[in-house]
Chains A and B, each alone.
Chain A
Amino acid sequence: MKSFLQPILVSVLLLLVFGFGFPGLLWGVAQLLPQRAAGSPVVAGGRVVGFERIGQKFTQARYFWGRPSAVDYNAAITGASNAGPNNPDFHAVVRARLDTFLLQNPGVAKAQVPAEVVTASASGIDPDLSPAAAYVQVARVARARHLPAARVQQLVTQHIEQPWLGFMGPAHVSVLRLNLALDALR
């Protein structure tokens, strides 16, 4: 009888420690960092306009746009396109994205378009752009906002986050932060 109950008793104790105790302990620690524990919401003008690291959809010409998303930036069901590299449907989608982008950004040459603005991210809510992908949108944003291009260009440069510790990982620009700064210009 004892040998029958032993595995159950051990499992119950392990469950108490690891299924409930450990998360509880960590939740307690997280209370010291309430902002981060809640996913770092960004507040502007008294309302939550997004989350620090969660990409959101921008469609208006006056904002910088993030990368294409397989889930249309729905942060409740994230995911990638999972398109195979040789899938003809995927090629058609990329070509369509490129045509649209060139149409909406007159004056930009094909060779200036970084691959990331025609390919979908892994999470579907990639919050960042590479500096090149932000610079290529400067002319459009400046025109829509009646701002000198140099001013917008400067804003992008100011918002480039350099690699971690100066050399680890790529430099990138947070799209939400950049657009908030744009709105704050006037």
Chain B
Amino acid sequence: MNVLTALLLFGAAALLAWPTGRYLARVYAGERTWLHFLTPLERGFYRLAGLDPAQAMTLGQYVRALLAVNAVWLLWGLGILLVQHRLPFWNPDHIPAMELTQALHTAVSFLTSTNAQHYSGETGASYFAQLAVFTFLQFVSAGTSLAVGVAVVRALGRAEKLTTVGNFYQDLVRSCLLVLLPLSFVFSVGLLLTGVPMTFEGAGTYTSLEGVAGTVARGPVAAMLSIKELGSNGGGFFGPNCAHPFETPNFAAFVLHHLLVMLLPMAFVFMVGFYLKRMRLALLIFGVMTAGLFLLLVPAVLAELHGNPVLSALGIDAGAGNLEGKEIRFGVFHTAYYNALNMAIPAGTLVGAQDSFTSLTGAPFMLLMQIDAFFGGLGTGFLNFFIYLIIAAFVASLMVGRSPELLGKKIEAPEMQAATLVAVAQPVVVLACTALAAWVWATTPSAATTLKWLPNPGAHGFSAMLYEFVSAAAGNGSGYESLGDNTPFWNLVPGLAMLSGRFVPLLGALFIAARLQAKAYTEPGAGAIRLDSLTFGVLLLVVIGILGALLFFPALTLGPLAEYFGGK
């Protein structure tokens, strides 16, 4: 029944993604859609902002506009978090201001769609910050990812030589207003119906049946939940994220979460097919992504169902699997399945505590994050896949002795250099930062004593540090929450990993696409590599495996593998 449910949910998400992908293609082609009643909103926005959406930008102008709005958002977020205690409304529980490095980490984290949280929503963020900073940044950072993703697809689709890549503001506004807004609204209403709260009244109180008083943190939760998943953001309203009963009250809400996480990353692949009129290629990409995802997901679920051998040895009824850090209304199977999906899609909206998963699951989980292209984040997942696609096309062309090309455009040295740089940047940043953390841990006694970095000893502690950086660079934002992460070191260093993990692939992929677009189109002759053939699909999977996994394997042996084989 559990397997059937999981397959049904995955299939339902794909089924819903098909029309959504077609809708996306029509939106970005500027065609009339069945949501055309929103078009006046879009036009009004341009008029108020004094924008001319028809004005195409060069690559430089596009990137400058992107970086400029991101800078404005960063300053806004940082400023509000530092003064949230002084704002006159939307803070009924009197939450204090954030400390500077924590505010910096949080602002960068939401700007980069990572949503790692070194505060706890119940005690660290006012309702004002939750909505005007976090929810706002979740919308616009997802809009940015989508905008760049679309710009790359558009550039690939152009047969004529062109030096402009489109209008950034138009891509951003369309993504936010015509895609994210209507979907978030519908799903948020659905979540309200399942029992997710939406109130500005502050914490609730009760007197238990045994006569003890209790306080229950609540808030405008429903407004944040759908966009945090649709946009592959992932920041929870509460500390335990989707494991909190107010975020996922029951299995109906769980089903909605599942659809939300998968919908747009899947729809983006179909959009590529509709937009480029190359549905065979899109289906091949979909197939490779699904195969890669399940190749890593299945072992993780099996390990969790097998449970923790130490607990089984106590002679209790441990047949249900590893239940530490999991909730009864989801059970072990669905917690592991859903968490694994949230590794592939860097939303990181977990329904169970990663830290308490069995030792081996850390390996497939970190690999899924590191690869970040088995569906991957909204927009960004496809961009990473695009990088792998170029490298695979290059390798395949060399194998058959032809000059490398992608969709009729020649791949030359600058494109390959950029692709390699993007592919290598993330593992290098992650491994270097982890090495730095390990060195600081080993040389600073206070890290263990007063700061309590690693409450879990041994290899598991190393995994916690490694995971934090993989998660930051992949824009995932989940963590081994035992890590004593609210310290200047853990607020600042992962911040750099988040910025590089965000902007290097985003701008790198756009650079490559713009260069390809500026080249002459040549009709592929006989014997050219067919991108939509099964052979190429297998090659692609192998290239992703080698680039994404092998670079990373030595670090994994020190963490999850050492813990599994060493038993500590």
Contacts and interface: CB of A to CB of B under 8 A. Distances in A.
B317 interface: yes
A81 B197 contact: no
Contacts of B308: 85
A90 B359 CA distance: 14
B220 A87 contact: no
Contacts of A168: 5, 251, 255
B135 A23 contact: yes
Interface string B215-255: 11110101100000000000000111001111001111011
B458 A38 contact: no
B123 interface: yes
Given A14-B176, A163-B251, A169-B5, A79 B189 contact: no
Interface stretch (B24-32, B48-56, B373-381, B431-439): B48-56
Interface in B178-234: 181, 184-185, 188-189, 192-193, 195-201, 203-210, 212, 214-218, 220, 222-223
Contact of B244 (A78, A116, A183): A78
A114 B208 CA distance: 25
Contacts of A123: 238, 240, 243-245, 327
A59 B203 CA distance: 24
Interface in A119-134: 119-130, 132-133
B323 interface: yes
Contact of B72 (A7, A30, A33, A126): A7
Contact of B320 (A51, A78, A116): A116
Nearest to B48: A13
Interface range on chain B (Cβ under 8 Å from partner): 35 or more
A41 B206 contact: yes
Contacts of B567: 86
Interface in A70-118: 73-88, 90-91, 94-95, 98, 110-116, 118
Interface stretch (B350-358, B402-410, B534-542): B350-358
A112 B315 CA distance: 9
A20 B137 CA distance: 12
Contacts of B350: 122
A163 B323 CA distance: 19
Nearest to B204: A39
Chain A: number of interface residues, binned into ranges: 35 or more
Interface in A1-40: 2, 6-11, 13-15, 17-20, 22-23, 25-27, 29-30, 33, 36-40
Contact of A6 (B50, B207, B252): B50
Contacts of B543: none
A113 B460 contact: no
A83 B355 contact: yes
A22 B184 contact: yes
Interface stretch (B277-285, B329-337, B516-524): B329-337
Given A7-B72, A13-B45, A98-B314, A26 B197 contact: no
A153 interface: no
A54 interface: yes
B132 A20 contact: yes
Please indicate which of the listed interface residues A20, A82, A116 has the most CB atoms of chain B within 10 Å of its own CB. Answer: A82
Given A22-B181, A26-B192, A87-B460, A53 B359 contact: no
A8 B205 CA distance: 41
Contacts of B50: 2, 6, 9
B73 A11 contact: yes
B215 A76 contact: yes
A88 B458 CA distance: 11
B198 A75 contact: no
Interface of B: 1, 4-5, 45, 48-51, 65, 68-69, 71-73, 76, 120, 122-123, 131-133, 135-136, 139-140, 143, 169, 172-173, 176-177, 181, 184-185, 188-189, 192-193, 195-201, 203-210, 212, 214-218, 220, 222-223, 238-240, 243-246, 249-252, 254-255, 307-308, 310-311, 314-331, 334-335, 350-353, 355-359, 455-458, 460-461, 480-482, 563, 567-568
19 contacts: A7-B68, A15-B136, A17-B176, A22-B135, A22-B185, A26-B222, A30-B198, A36-B195, A37-B197, A39-B216, A50-B206, A75-B215, A78-B217, A79-B239, A83-B324, A86-B458, A115-B322, A120-B324, A122-B240
Interface of A: 2, 6-11, 13-15, 17-20, 22-23, 25-27, 29-30, 33, 36-42, 47-60, 63, 67, 73-88, 90-91, 94-95, 98, 110-116, 118-130, 132-133, 163-164, 167-170, 172, 176, 179-180, 183
Given A48-B206, A85-B310, 11 more contacts: A19-B132, A26-B189, A30-B222, A36-B192, A37-B199, A54-B245, A75-B214, A77-B120, A78-B239, A86-B359, A120-B325
